[in-house]
Amino acid sequence: MKLRIQSINFDATAALETYISKKTSKLEKFFDEITHIEVYLKVIKPETAENKEAEIKISIPNVDFFASKTCNSFEEAIDLSIDALDKQIRKYKEKVSNK
């Protein structure tokens, strides 16, 4: 699995990148066919309370999953996006296994 993290208009800290790596690696436990994950982090202007956006795209053969959340912190946005992707992957696995 390849992990690519892009921070748009700011530099992500090493701690944030480690956090993202740790969280995304948990998805492999549910689905081992993940080829790569792309994470986009943005600070939305103007400065408001909820201005941290995380977009995550997961690629597996023939299918892409995508989630985007905007929150007060990148960690919270990552957590909510991972939860949404987890649901999408589980739903996909159920659909495939029922065929």
Q: How confident is the model over 68-86, as a mean pLDDT?
A: 93
CATH number for the domain spanning 65: value is 3.30.160.100
Q: Give this prediction's pTM.
A: 0.89
Structural domain range at position 78:
2-97
Q: How confident is the model over 73-83, as a mean pLDDT?
A: 94
How far CA 69 is from CA of 2, 44, 72, 99, in Å, comes to 22, 12, 10, 32
pLDDT of residue 79: 95
Give the pLDDT confidence of 6-65 residue by residue, as tens digits: 998 888 889 999 999 999 888 887 778 889 999 999 988 877 778 899 999 999 888 999
Into how many domains does the chain fold?
1
The three-state secondary structure class of 44 is coil
